[in-house]
Amino acid sequence: MKITEHIEQAKGKTLFSLEILPPVKGQDINCTFKTLDPLVELKPAFIDVTYHRQEYIYKQKENGLLKKYSVRKRPGTVAICSAIQNHYKIDAVPHLICGGFTKEDTEDALIDLNFLGIDNVLVLRGDPIKTEKTFVPEPGGHAFANELVQQVVGLNHGKYLDDELQETHATDFCIGVAGYPEKHFESANLSLDMHYLKQKVDLGANYIVTQMFYDNQKYFDFVTKCRENGIQVPIIPGIKPLTAVGQLSSIPKNFYIDLPEALVQELLKADCSSTISQIGLEWSVNQCKELIKFGVPALHFYTMSNSKHTKFIAQQLF
């Protein structure tokens, strides 16, 4: 079922959804099930599975020359999504990224997803890998998420890269894209970021999932600005509890967001890790209650494949 259909059928009730990481290389699907088992009891409407680009390492050969090796630490997004849908009968949403994919790779992935009965994709540009100062597109791939949206929409209209193919079948993917209440870190300002977001929606994106945030007013303002700019698709807020003092620096650094002064002060006064965790969890619970009152279509939890904190929060809400 499409994400938009889940939202329509909920008739104004806020849905519960979550995002997981694929297991690291060498682990099997049971690692994913172990993460999900405690959460499926709460009946999530859908489960996102992230995609991780291959990185590169160089090893010196006996002749002294360096050889480049491709390394993907978290493989299997397509397979994991298929396993989730078959095991739990819950819709899985694979992330589809520009980085590391040619247009042909993208088309192949979409054909596989369509064959497996997966109805949704979350389309992202993707982040630079460690060896890149800025994002570098794959040769023969897409440089921007809006280009990737166009390719998915094209396939939804039966438009394949080989225009000489006969008897092609159109796909019917529901397309999600990312939104940034505090703007994408590479955008000059929020207005320009909004311009590109509207472009993705105008091209055919069906819903938006936001970057995490800790100040609900920023989400409210973001929704208002979207509506003022003619963006009418559902906007799902992303939630991640802050549960360790080290996250006071790591979250702003890695995700380019601000932390509310009140939350920071409470965390700095805490005298042990368990107190810090409890403060962060209570903040998230109160944040989610306010978002539900506002009428958000879903709460989307970034679990980082740790079910404990997400389950605690969701149990207070659903």
Give dist(CA 38, CA 71) in Å, integer: 31
Residue 74: predicted pLDDT: 65
Give dist(CA 288, CA 311) in Å, integer: 13
CB 129 within 8 A of CB 110: no
User: Kind of pairing, strands 235-239 and 207-212?
Assistant: parallel
Give dist(CA 130, CA 23) in Å, integer: 20
**Which of 152, 32, 129 minimizes the C-alpha distance to 87?**
32
**Which of 140, 148, 128, 143 minimizes the C-alpha distance to 200?**
148
Give dist(CA 236, CA 212) in Å, integer: 10
Residue-level pLDDT, tens digit, the chain, 318 residues: 999 999 999 999 999 999 999 988 768 899 999 999 999 999 999 999 999 776 655 566 666 666 655 556 666 899 999 999 999 999 999 999 998 899 999 999 999 999 999 999 999 998 877 777 788 888 999 999 999 999 999 999 999 999 878 778 999 999 999 999 999 989 999 999 999 999 999 999 999 999 999 999 999 999 999 999 999 999 999 999 999 889 999 999 999 999 999 999 998 888 788 898 999 999 999 999 999 999 999 999 999 888 999 999 999 999
Sequence-separated (6 or more) residues with CB below 8 Å from residue 15: 6, 7, 44, 45, 46, 297, 298, 299
Residue 166: predicted pLDDT: 77
Residue 72: predicted pLDDT: 60
Give dist(CA 122, CA 20) in Å, integer: 13
Give dist(CA 91, CA 176) in Å, integer: 14
Q: Which fold has domain 3-315?
A: TIM Barrel (3.20.20)
Give the predicted TM-score (pTM) of the model. Answer: 0.93
Domain boundaries, the chain: 3-315
